[in-house]
């Protein structure tokens, strides 16, 4: 079943890319493995999933211990607490969910002590919902100069989560706005940053996200079916 889902998702990604006049290889599929067992994830890797996304540090740590980092990249997509920052360097290749300057500074500081640099995306709260994390889109063009000063993080793009809506078309304005915000920030020509990546799109709306410029779609239930512990509800 996972195999068929994967083929279908890949096909739909390619079709959406085509509709938008984009090259399908410019869109990467992040398989969201949160709440899935290591056995299920191993099956996904065997089928060719090479990018895996987790939203809890401890859960990721357990799976990465079992599955390793050789065959696949692990991305972090959840709320990152500052006291967990020390763990991320051994686990993840990209953090999608840096939602404040304070968090970026904490990552930068730890990176400096390790002599390393962590690739990150800035999570933007386009919808302005109180329940959602993220940087205020109106403040980003100013604040991005502060992010750019941090040598311990490599800013690679932006990420957003729109309000959940059964109708994927309703996600489109949020994704279009993230792309426009990216363009605005790119046009500032800040030397240290490169905003090529747009992490947007989940199981129910990734095709719309691709039409609006997504480079990283984060698909969980569309690949693995309903998550075991929450009976198929899509978490925001």
Ligand X SMILES: *Cc1c(COP(=O)(O)O)cnc(C)c1O
Chain positions contacting ligand X, by CB under 6 A? 32, 34, 55, 77, 161, 202-203, 218-222, 234-235
* Residue with the shortest CB distance to ligand X: 220
Which C-beta is closer to ligand X: that of 48 or that of 236? 236
Residue with Cβ nearer ligand X (166 or 191): 166
* Secondary structure (DSSP) of the chain: -HHHHHHHHHHHHHHHHHHTT--GGG-EEEEE-TT--HHHHHHHHHTT--EEEES-HHHHHHHHHHH-SSS-EEEE-S---GGGHHHHTTT-SEEEEE-SHHHHHHHHHHHHHHT--EEEEEEB-TT--TTS--B-TTTHHHHHHHHHT-TTEEEEEEE--PPP-SSGGGGHHHHHHHHHHHHHHHTT--TT----EEE---TTTHHHHHHTT-SEEEESHHHH-S-GGGTTPPP-
Q: Find the shortest distance in angstroms from Cβ 143 to ligand X.
A: 21
Q: Least distance from C-beta 10 to ligand X, angstroms?
A: 15
CB of 34 to ligand X, least distance (A): 6
Nearer to ligand X, 156 or 221 (CB): 221
Nearer to ligand X, 203 or 215 (CB): 203
- For the bound state, the minimum distance from the C-beta of residue 21 to ligand X, rounded and expressed in Å, comes to 25
């Amino acid at each position: 079943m996972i195999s068929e889902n994967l083929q279908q998702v890949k096909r739909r990604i390619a079709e959406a890319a085509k509709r938008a006049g984009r090259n399908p290889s410019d869109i990467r599929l992040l398989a969201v493995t949160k709440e899935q067992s290591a056995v299920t994830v191993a099956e996904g890797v065997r089928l060719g999933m090479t990018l895996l996304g987790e939203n809890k540090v401890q859960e990721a740590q357990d799976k990465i211990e079992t599955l390793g980092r050789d065959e696949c990249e692990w991305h972090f997509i959840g709320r990152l607490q500052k006291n967990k920052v020390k763990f991320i360097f051994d686990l993840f290749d990209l953090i999608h969910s840096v939602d404040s300057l304070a968090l970026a500074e904490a990552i930068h500081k730890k990176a400096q002590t390790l002599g390393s640099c962590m690739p990150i995306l800035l999570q933007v709260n386009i919808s302005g919902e109180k329940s959602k994390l993220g940087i205020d889109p109106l403040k980003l063009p100013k604040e991005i100069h502060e992010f750019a000063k941090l040598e311990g993080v490599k800013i690679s793009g932006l990420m957003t989560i729109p309000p959940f809506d059964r109708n994927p078309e309703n996600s489109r304005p949020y994704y279009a706005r993230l792309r426009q915000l990216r363009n605005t920030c790119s046009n500032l020509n800040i030397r240290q940053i490169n905003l090529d990546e747009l992490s947007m799109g989940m199981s129910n709306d990734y095709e719309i996200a691709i039409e609006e410029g997504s480079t990283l779609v984060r698909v969980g239930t569309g690949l693995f079916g309903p998550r075991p512990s929450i009976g198929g509800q899509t978490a925001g």
